[in-house]
Amino acid sequence: MAAVSLNNVVKKFGSLPVVHGASLEIADGEFVVFVGPSGCGKSTLLRMIAGLEDITDGEIVIGGKVVNDVEPAERGIAMVFQSYALYPHMTVEQNLSFGLRMTGNDKADTQRRVSRAADILRISELMQRRPRQLSGGQRQRVAIGRAIVRNPQVFLFDEPLSNLDAELRVQMRVEIARLHKELGVTMIYVTHDQTEAMTLADKIVVLRAGNIEQIGRPLDLYYDPDNQFVAGFVGSPKMNFIRGHVVERNDKGVILELAGEDGTRLAQPLTGPAPELGSHVTVGVRPEHFGDAGKGDADLTVSVDVVEHLGGTSFVYAATAAGEELVIQRDAATAADAAEITVSIRKSYLFDEKGLRLR
Amino acid sequence: MRSKSSAERRRGIALHAALFPLALIWLFPLWMMFVFSTLPENGIFSRDIILTPSDQFVENFNLLESDTGFIRATTISILVAAAYTVLSVALTSMAGWSLACYRFAGKGVVLATILGTLTLPYFVVVIPQFIMVARDFGLHNTLFALIVPPLFNSLGVLFMRQTFSMMPHELFDAARVEGVKEWRIFLFIGLPLARPAVAALSIILFLHSWNNYLWPLLINSKPAMMTAPVALGSLIGLTKVSWGGIMTGAVMLTAPMLVLFVALQRHFVAGISAGAVK
Ligand SMILES: Nc1ncnc2c1ncn2[C@@H]1O[C@H](COP(=O)(O)OP(=O)(O)OP(=O)(O)O)[C@@H](O)[C@H]1O
Ligand SMILES: [Mg+2]
């Protein structure tokens, strides 16, 4: 059992900075997910926690102990790699026991741990096979099993499901959630799939270009993003962004005019400082926050490109008069196939020119 | 497997028709070597071209043995080639491993130096090496001098480095996280996965040592320390060349290598072309 904290962790490869000072508290037993686009430094951060990369600056603490100079094996962690990293020339059983055998663990204990892991992951009947004789999902289980036999205090997962097909991914996602419940240990999980992040995490860390953009519970990120990047990254389909500018400031907030919608006024109540009159802002609207005309804060008439009927709901792909693409979620019944519809914004988020949230 | 189309079959026949005579041309000297090794001295120098073996092999061999101590020379050759192969494979794979897997100061310089030695002709190296080993260290006429100086093999190092770099490094990271020591990662993961490459390298290095002539000739002049090729060479005297003996010795040296090569061919080809396709 261990809490993990990062204090201002910096990583440079040569002179190339890759992580610019990440600070983060992870409680004991928490399931934390790092998400972010490709190349943002998720793996690097994870590998630094694992001890596979050294830290240029800052401090990593696991279980109350600074581990900057501690060997990976002594950190109480286990890691599951994206490629599974199973030893191809060994059977499943040998794969599971390799680390323990090599570090001189007691034979009977090794045996016990291996069969426990096999039970947990239901791979007992695969023990004599080699990795190439396993399906993707089975390989993934073995890779997780290899982590379990170490009895780690912290599990590290680097995109463990990205090589699986969609169906298996959902299935393994549930398994990992089950495992977390069963073992109750801290887990740090890297993915660029925001669905995985939303469904698995107690806490999500959104990264972009080596910076932590926001840390929070999944629904907090969803309903209360700190900036445009997080707002766009969390949620599927993505949040819509409509440009606009401030036409009026008052003590309650601002009133905006949306691009291409002369005369449309959208009132945005703000408690914090309001942007300058005339300044450009972005209004974010989630697909489900559009409603029928006349029932919200502002009406937009949009031209419809495509309607996707998914059964319960439908997604309307449309464009505003200013040419901005929108995705609008509607009930199947109200998703007309008309070329033009009028929708109403019922709830929106306001971002300034730099993409920071205005509240 | 799908059956071959007739166009493919015709291409195959044409290819074989071209390759077969080439193979014969290549095999002909080998055959003649074998034939000569069975002829009496007067047969080798007869005016007729003799294409079929005779029965003088044992006599020729006895002559060879009494002239040169061929059995002892062959024993030395085997010992040297075996020790050389084992040591050189060990060294080159360790060097290749460290160049493929670790970041360290001066790695670029080391790599460039190794590459650089490839551009040096062997004859530029061999004389200074001879002076160093024989004159300065006084190690001529020793097994050590036969085995150790040629151990370093740039091509082998680069070959093994390439082999290890092409392996997914997450495998090694996985073992590191499990607390496996670096040399065990090398021994139990890196090397087993490099088996085809190691097999190919072993054959090349063994042959290299087995066929080596110049260095053993220079460094070990004492008859008791000669390797087999040097012993054979010593039959070319100023006044008399014992062709029967030379051919018999050549057969004795070539045949086991041919057998070895054919037996290990599968590994050999797999190793050389490893990584060509993912
Ligand atoms: N060994 C290295 N040397 C130099 N640069 C590196 C090295 N490893 C990673 N980088 C760089 O660091 C940045 C972050 O890489 P990282 O692998 O952490 O990204 P990631 O968020 O895991 O991306 P992905 O989702 O594609 O896995 C990238 O720009 C990458 O090019
Ligand atoms: Mg990554």
User: ipTM of this predicted complex?
Assistant: 0.83
Alpha carbon dihedral B136, B137, B140, B145, in 10-degree steps, equals -130
Cα Rg of chain A (Å, integer) = 24
Q: Which residue has the tokens 């992870």?
A: A26
Whether B210 and B259 have beta carbons less than 8 Å apart is answered as no
Tell me, using a 6 A CB cutoff, whether residue A37 lines ligand 1.
no
Spans of all domains in chain A = 4-233, 240-351
Domains of chain B plus CATH, in order, are 69-234 (1.10.3720.10)
Whether B29 and B243 have beta carbons less than 8 Å apart is answered as no
Whether B90 and B156 have beta carbons less than 8 Å apart is answered as no
Distances (CA, A) of A219 to A106, A205, A238: 45, 13, 15
Residue A328: phi and psi, rounded to 5, are -120, 125
Query: What is the number of residues in chain B?
Result: 278
State pLDDT tens for residues B59-112: 888 888 888 888 999 999 999 999 999 999 999 999 999 999 998 999 999 999
Could you say which residues of chain A have pLDDT below 50? Answer: none
Nearest residue in A to B187, CA atom: A102
Picking from B174, B164, B97, B170, the residue whose alpha carbon sits closest to that of residue A99 is B174
Interface check A56 vs B, CB under 8 A: no
The answer to whether the Cβ–Cβ distance between B174 and A82 falls below 8 Å is no
pLDDT of residue B52: 83
Tell me, using a 6 A CB cutoff, whether residue A18 lines ligand 1.
yes
Q: Is the pLDDT of residue B276 over 70?
A: no
pLDDT of residue B273: 60
Interface check A74 vs B, CB under 8 A: yes
Mutate: best of B178, B182, B186, B198, partner A, most A CBs <10 A: B178
Q: Is the pLDDT of residue B272 over 80?
A: no
Cα–Cα distance measured from residue A204 to residue A217, given in angstroms and rounded to the nearest whole number: 6
Interface check B174 vs A, CB under 8 A: yes
pLDDT of residue B107: 93
Share of chain B above pLDDT 90, in %: 48
Picking from A50, A38, A24, the residue whose alpha carbon sits closest to that of residue A213 is A24
State pLDDT tens for residues B125-141: 899 999 999 989 988 89
Whether B251 and B232 have beta carbons less than 8 Å apart is answered as no
β pairing state of A240-250 and A77-80: unpaired
For residue A38, which amino acid is it? S
pLDDT of residue B277: 42
How far apart are the CA of A143 and the centre of ligand 2, in A?
17
Whether B137 and A52 have beta carbons less than 8 Å apart is answered as no
Answer whether the bond into residue A237 is a cis peptide, omega within 30°: yes
pLDDT of residue B43: 73
User: Contacts of residue A71 in chain B, CB cutoff 8 Å?
Assistant: 179
Interface check A72 vs B, CB under 8 A: yes
Ion ligand 2 residues within 5 Å by Cβ:
A 43
In 10 A of CB A292, how many CB atoms? 15
Report residue A235 as tokens: 């949620």
Nearest atom in ligand 1 to the alpha carbon of residue A53 is 1
Give the rounded distance of the alpha carbon of A280 from its chain centre: 29
Cα–Cα distance measured from residue B241 to residue B232, given in angstroms and rounded to the nearest whole number: 10
pTM of the model: 0.82
Mutate: best of A44, A87, A155, partner B, most B CBs <10 A: A87
Ligand 1, atom 5, residue with closest C-alpha: A13
Tell me, using a 6 A CB cutoff, whether residue A141 lines ligand 1.
no
pLDDT of residue A57: 94
B241 band by pLDDT with thresholds 50, 70 and 90: confident
pLDDT of residue A282: 93
Top CATH class, A4-233: alpha beta
